[in-house]
Every structure is written in structure tokens, then in C-alpha cells.
Structure 1
């Protein structure tokens, strides 16, 4: 009998029976160290990828890496020092986590701010990784803890995910999230029970004043973070409920107080503070 085709994984067709077997093996691996590898195999049957990393976010604290695999080791070279060292605060996937109770598939460029590709963060962090495309399965463990299984395409394959691969992932997004939630349901990072820290804008203002003698208003600190995350003046205005011209005034005030004239200088000023603000977790 001719097998029924399930879909595409790279250039190879995957049958329904092969997918079913991969799913069965993943379910059997729940609560065992084999789960990440079996989960990887299951997803690879839907969409070929070059790298995978499972990250646990908890509040605004430094995330934890629970699993990683890759073809080219270059992709994760900036991870431990740069991303976990504070750059995650500018990451679109991290900001999806902050929305709370997030499940299912998210493609990075679908949730990124409108000027994300113009940011110093994108051009200095993402270009180092050689990532061309990234899709994440989100799973909610508790109100404050989110897991993401991020599947990437880098210079190894040299191309983004295809339409059929993305469709296959989205058809099964809730099942994929449920598998992560079932496996890591008891996961609690060190310090998860600690009292929540003050909002990032507040801590950033305090650190700027203590270390550089720069006193920003709450709105100026908000605008600084929106700029670094890749929001245009129009998008910032929509978030804050003010006009684009008002945003431009806040930007000029911000740059004047910080004695800078570009986003690159703002990035250089604030990134060392991010690293210290997120040192615990």
C-alpha cells in the first residue's frame, strides 16, 4: 500500500506513520532525559532546522538554557556572555514571554518591532549568530515562567523556513506546547520564589543616576528601551498614547541628557548597565 504523506522536512517527505512514531517516542520520553532529543526529532519531521535551544524565562530575571543542539557552533557563541548577560531584555521572544500565558508557535520576525532589523542589537548580536530565521514553540509553566524551544536556520542551510514547514508547525502548535509543559511542569529556576524586582525602567533610571549622574524621567527611560528594542517613533507613540512629534521630543531630551547622538551610543551606554541589573537569577 502506498503510504499517506504527512508533509515536508527539508526535501524529504515524511509519512503519517513516521510522524506518529516520532510523536509516540516523544510521549514515552516525557519526564526522562531523552525528551529534548525526541522532541527535536519530532519537530524535524515537520520543519528541518539547523539549531535548537530551549530557554526558560522567569520574570525579568536572567533566563536559563535547558538544552541546546547545533550544526555550526558559531550560532551560540554570543549566547552565554551577550544574550544571557543582558541582551535578552531587547529580544522579541522575551517580550512575548512578558505578555504572560503564551503558547504556540511564534516566528521571530512576525513578533519583532517594526524597526528591529535596524537596531544595534540586531546588527551586533544576530549577525554574529548567522541566524537567518527563527521559530519558537512557547509553553507556559507558571504565571511567571515561560519555556521557549527555538528552532533556527543559520548559515548551515543558508535559507529561511519554507511556507509548508511553517504550516506544519502551526498545525501542531498546541500539541508541541503541551509536550514541553508536561515535561517541565515541575521546573523552577533558582531564586524563582524571591520577591519580584522593580520594573526595568525604574532600575535603569537608578543605575544611570548612580553610575553616570544622568537623571531620566520615567517617560524618557521608557523611550530609551523602546528605541533599543527596535520600535519606530510612530510605534512608540502608539504604545505610549502620544503623537510621533512628542516621541521625537522625548528622544531629543534623552540624547541631550545622555550626551549622545545615536542609537549605537545609547546601546553602548545602557548594555553594561543591563548586565549588572540582571546579574542575579
Structure 2
């Protein structure tokens, strides 16, 4: 077992709110709030790209007033001239990828005018993940009033981007409710699938923010039984805290087989 207070992933729990919002109508708002809190992201846009050449804007949230227009323009034409396109289409395989650092010179003059000068965007980071024939392309922006991403903010985005991209892909691909999404992970993915049914129920409710008392009431068992199931589950998983349990979930979401 890992020492208490030493989570498997330092980002564990940091994006938990976005993970638990998968499938909910407020997912875009929870996502941008999470990104603002973790890396002061101003705006997020998500595109679905297919190998057949189609592009669709799936999400537009944040502080760019003309974000909807930009999304439509990119999906309609400009995705074909995106300098990240080659990297995107070389990334097939299921694992989230980070795209090259933003540099204005990478973009053509018309592209720069519409997407950066007219919108006020001064910096961006991007990640992508393939699920089947669809690439979910996730863009994080900052506008002039914010300035460019700091080194620390960029590093933070690189840390959380895999889990964020995987959560976005699961949200738009499956349209599952948070409860269903967690249930699938616990039923099919090791090491969570190695737990007993009751241990899974307890751990799922821990992830959803239930107290031990609330779990006992929901499952109709004693508080002593709830604590025992939690202890046994943590021992099987080699963890000692809720944050480490979140780390396992995030690793499974971001792993190459997480969306199969």
C-alpha cells in the first residue's frame, strides 16, 4: 500500500468535478470552471474530426463572445488548414496526446486574423484523443486581458489534459450519466473490476461525494459495514484515500482502452 498522503497521481481529484459531470447538461459549465480553477483557462472549444473530412464544433464555453462564430468557421473550412492537423491525424491509437505549443507563425494570415486578432486570443494549448474514427480535439485559450499562459499554467494543463480530454470524449461519445459511466468502469476495468459488488457500490458513492453515513443509509447497511467495505476495497486497490481512488479512475479514463 502507498504511504498515506502520497497519491498515485498529483492531479487526483483536481478534475473530479468534470469527471463526475459526464453526461450532465451542465458539463460545459463544470468543465470551464475546472479549467479556470486549475490553469486560468479563458475559453475551451472542442471539435470532432473524422478521417472522412467532416468537422463539428461540440463545445464552446468561456470568455470569447464570438466563440460560436469561430467554431462554425473552423468546422466549415479552417480545420483543413490547421497546422495541428498532421499531428492530430498521426495520433490515432486511443491515448490522449498534447499538440505542439502555439506559435502565431504556424498559422496563415487569414487564419490568424479570424481566430486570433479578431477574437483577442493570445495563447492556446491543445490536446486530442481518438475514439474509433473520431478525433476529439480540445483547445484551451487565453485572451489579451489575461495574457499568455505562464510556464506553471502550461505545465498544469499538460498534467490534467489527458483526463480532461478523456472525460470530454466519454461525455460526447456515450452520453452516459455520471453514475452509468462509473458503473461501467467498475464493472469492466481492472483493478476496479476486482472488487466485490458491495465494495464497488461503496467506492462509487465515495467518488460521488457521499459521506460514510449517507452511504450506509443509501445501501441499507450499518456504518460499521460501510467502513469495513471501504477498508477492504482500499486494501485490494493498494490505496489509502479518496484522492488515490480518484487517481485510479482518472488513469482509466485517460488510458488507451478507456473508451472502448
TM range (shorter): 0.5 to 0.7
The two structures have a TM-score, normalised by structure 1, of 0.50
Match of 1:32 among 13, 24, 37: 24
> Residue 68 in 1 paired to residue 60 in 2?
yes
Structure 1 match to 2:51? 59
Match of 2:34 among 35, 42, 63: 42
SS in 2 for 1:100: coil
Match of 2:139 among 138, 150, 163: 150
The alpha-carbon deviation at position 127 of structure 1 amounts to 1.9
Larger relative contact order, structure 1 or 2 (CA cutoff 8 Å, min sep 6): 2
Provide the alpha-carbon RMSD of the alignment. 2.9
Structure 1 match to 2:162? 174
Count of paired positions: 165
SS in 2 for 1:77: helix
SS in 1 for 2:18: helix
Match of 2:148 among 140, 154, 160: 160
Structure 1 match to 2:129? 139
Structure 2 match to 1:100? 91
Task: Report 1:92-241 matches (<5 A).
Answer: 92-101=83-92, 103-109=96-102, 115-117=105-107, 119-142=109-132, 144-157=133-146, 159-186=147-174
Task: Give yes or no for contact 1:75–1:128 (8 Å, CA) kept in 2.
Answer: no
Match of 2:78 among 71, 87, 105: 87
Deviation above 4 Å: which 4+ runs of structure 1? 19-22
Structure 1 match to 2:184? none
Unaligned runs of 5+ in 2: 176-260
The alpha-carbon deviation at position 141 of structure 1 amounts to 1.6
